[in-house]
Structure formats: structure tokens, C-alpha cells
Structure 1
């Protein structure tokens, strides 16, 4: 029985996207969060279960009820709860959210009752086929092979984790869908004219008062090749954030802590000249705090500005509005999958910086260094796939030097 003088843990309801309600509380002995699936999407039923659990916790009789049966026969909901709590919490929030969403899609297709239901070759083959056919897709059209491969990779990662825990056998191998080696970018670099259009529409979205702070951010993304999340962590003085550094007898650099890197490695990279000029345009007495702090949109609608600094996710969505308002299409409508046309985003500004470096003749190794890719191949595939016109120009220059030995089309035409 619980000590009558001790306080029971605070119990709350949570509703993961597309899944039943959960009853959650923090175990006072282990300081770990406990999650129990209510097995229902009905809030009233879940609320009654929450009240029952609160009463049991108050009496100290719920301890044995919270133990979940581990193994192939554990319920799929229990497995999802454990996978979310033990594994996905170790990932970055965006990565964890993406994994949850993809597992939700698989769950809607397969409707598994137990963990063991998913560790079956026929089941996995069926899931892959139905994903490819477009079942539970946003637009009701077939998915691309690349999308299906990434969704299946998330499922296999979860099942392999269960195998490492000793809860089930490793998932069987299935025949993977063939995909092209060069995957098209989900966006593209912007031209200078398109970037000017992006800047021009800023006041129509955020209002005149906030426009300057948002344009400063856009120029920073255009010149720096930083991701939006990284730009929002750029600080004038805090070494725990991304820090621009000017040191005597050295060229300026950006210092990036490991915690803010996708590869979890602390790194220092060259500060691009255009970005340095932008930073130095800020008066010295204003070089404190965050470098980029876009202002609230609320005053545009006659409301007081919200307290606190904007998140990178929200800022990214606002920049997406700029791209839509400017009518900059970076990926056309896909008639096969039904995916709508994509307008310019914050990440397209990073692509733009990469392409400008490539056009300027910056060596591939240095471009990869600035973008912090493991290899040039990653940069080439996703950020700088190359320009056929640039390749044609190089070929023509080489062949023109050998014009006396290389037959021309006109030679053939005159002889016929």
C-alpha cells in the first residue's frame, strides 16, 4: 500500500496522432514516464479509465497492472508505446515525428493485433505492395518507389529494435523495390529573380513592421547555406549555439556544436563571404543575442505579439507562405501520384547557395565541407545535380580545340 502521506503521481491523458488515447504519469520511484493505452479513441471512455487508474495509484495497487507482456504476443499498441518511449525519444523531434507518422500509415494498412503479426514475410510483402499502390496515401494515388522504400525502412528499424530487445525474431528479408540511383530533389535552387520576388512579398504576409526582420533571415539563408533550424540557433556570443568567429590573422568561420549537427560531430566551417558581409552590416552595438529573431505576425492582424521566440518549424511554415504568395514553383504537380505542385521553401535557399558555389567554380570538396555532407556524392545528388548546359559548354570548348581532327555535322551534310 502507498504511504498515506505521500502524494500520488499526476495522471494525464494524451492522444498520439491516429492512435488510441494514453494514460500517462511519472513513476515516483523510477522517475520514468509510464504510458498505458486506453484502447479507445473516445475521450469520455478514456477519461473514466484515467480516473480508475488515479484511484488505483492512490491506493498503491496499480504496480502489477502496469507490467506489459513482452514477446511476440505483446499487443501492437503496447509495442508502439515502448518503441516511442525507449527508442524514438533518443532521436531528434522531427525524426521521431516522421517515424511515428510512417508507422501510423503501416498500422492503418496492416491492422496488426500483436507484434508477432508483423514479423511475417507475407505480411511485409503485402504492406509493401499496398504502400506502392497508394493505400492510405494523402492524395489517393500510387506512391513513388523512393517513398515506399523509406517507409519500409522505418518499419524494419522498429522490428529490428524489437529483435534486439529479445521480444521477437528478426524480420524476414523481402524483395526490395527497385529505385533509380539518382533521386530528384524535392525542390530546386532559386534564381536571383525568384529570390527578389520572395523578398518582395514578405510585407504582404508578415506586415510592414515585421518585414525587415524576415527579410534579414531570408538573406541569411540565401548567403549562408544553413538549414532553417541551424539559422535559428545562430548566436552572436553563446558558444553553446552556432557561433560566427572572427580571430586575429585568421579567416572567419562558423563553429557548430555537436548537439546541433545531424551527424553529432562538432565542426568548424568557413564563413561564406556574402554571409560575412550580411553579418557585418549589423551595427556592433546590436550584435547580442540571437542573430535571427523574426518578429511576430500578430501585430499585422491588430493583436499583441506573442511572448517567446518563434520555433524553427513555425518560421519554416511562414517562409513556405512567402514561396506560395510569390508563385515560385520548385516541383510541378505529379499526375501519377497526385502530389500537388511544391512552392519555394527555406531549404531551397540552401540549395541555391550550393548551386551558386558550384557555378562560381568552388571545388566540390569545399562545397561538401560547407554543407557538412559526408561526401560530394551526397551533395551532387540532392543539392547540386549539375547543369547540362555547363557540361555542354565544357565539351564544346574541348572539341573546338580539336576542330581540325573532329568531324562536324556540316561535313556530312555537304557530302550528301
Structure 2
């Protein structure tokens, strides 16, 4: 029936560009799209190209699979068969991408959206190494989706180049354990950062209860989740994100009676609460990171 398809150029009164449309042989409905041209001759050339694609079966509609449906399939078919630590790494990256890029459908994962995602990560102060790690993980996930026929167009992944002399590699488990030994009063918080995949600003906003601009812990359902209340979202839409199992296990160590307010409470050397900003907390974490090789906090820089 594809040989009967004929694409016509038409003018809609409310559009500047000429449109092209055809009647679907199967449904009998008219299907239209823009020619992106105001010139009749150019529009007819676009219509001829589309007609050829339709007749030869080369044209494919964008996938209607939602991002959440993709995540469920990916978890079931891929993550469930991986080591727990590897699965957690995938989930952490997908969570970050979901919070920043907010894809509604899988087909929205395009080169343009990935470029915007990288820009947002840079604006958040993420290192080139961290950005590259997220992109590598996303690339593997999108390749799987493409092989399954879920993603029709595989986006381009441009890895950030690391400047000479820049130290951006992730810390090893041994180095992390040295950081814990150097800062025992921050043990719970550092473990939370290690297992959750949250960035500093997100971890400082994490709460046990609802509040504006907060991520909320939800341990009540079948699976632990991070919940974003509707009042905290510009679109006034309630969203939930799966939580890494190791992070859920850490949170479960907190007695139920203490699950109020903020989840993490960073303190200074005197044990006093610190300002809940990445500018206040970040340098302390960085100092311990810089001193990780000798197993003690690095000396604070004089300003």
C-alpha cells in the first residue's frame, strides 16, 4: 500500500512555512509536517523527498517511549544482571541526567540536549573527569537503547578535554577510606556523597520531610526513592527517582525518631553547624581530598 502514498504541498493560514501532508493508507488520517520553506519550489522538493522515504519504508516516526519506561526496561534487562556497584553507577548517572535535562521521552536524548547537559554540569562546578564519566555511562545506555530499536537516532557524545596538569580522576576506595579516617565527624555525610551520586548542593538540600527546593527521602514504598514534591518543581509536577541500594542501606541506619529535617548536618572543627552551601562545605571536602594520599586532612590555605 505504500506505493499509493502521495505527499501534497499545502498552505495553512496560520503558518508562515508551507506544509506537506499525505493520507495514511492504513488509518485514512491526514499526516502533516512542515517543509520549513516558504518557496513553492523548495517545498515541493521537500515533499518529494518525504514521499520517497514513505514509499520506500525509510521514514520512521520518532519513538514514543517515555524516559521512565526506558529506565524500567533498562533496569530489568541490563542493570539486574550487573554487579551492584556497576548498577549503582548507571543509576547515579541516569538520575543526574534526569534531574538536569528532564527528558519526557527517550527520543529527546539528542546531541543538542547532551550539549546543554554538559553545560549545566560545568556551571555546577563538575570536573571534566566527572562529566566524562557521566557521558560514558550515558553513551553505553543509549547504545543499548539503539540496539533494542528503542532509540532511532543515536546522539553524538563529545567528551570534554582535560587541561594539562588538571587533576580530575575519581578517588579510589582506599583513598576514600583514608578520607573517612581523616574526618570521622563527617563519616555519615562522606558515605552519603559516595553512595548517592548526589552533588554537594543536592546533598545539602536532601530532607526527610517536604520543603520547598528540597529532595526528599522516601523509604516507605517497595523501593527506596528520592522524591521531588510538586511545589518544588517549576512545572508543578511530582517526580520520583530511584535510589541506589547502597545509599538506601546507609539511610536505614538512621533511627526512625531522628528522621526529621535535613538528612546531612556538616559541622566545623568545633562541632558547630556549617552554612548549607557548596561554597562553605565544598572546600572542606576538597581539603580532605587533597590530603588523601597521606591519610590526613590537607592544611587549610590562607586567603
TM-score, scaled relative to structure 2: 0.39
**Higher gyration radius (CA):** 1
TM-score, scaled relative to structure 1: 0.29
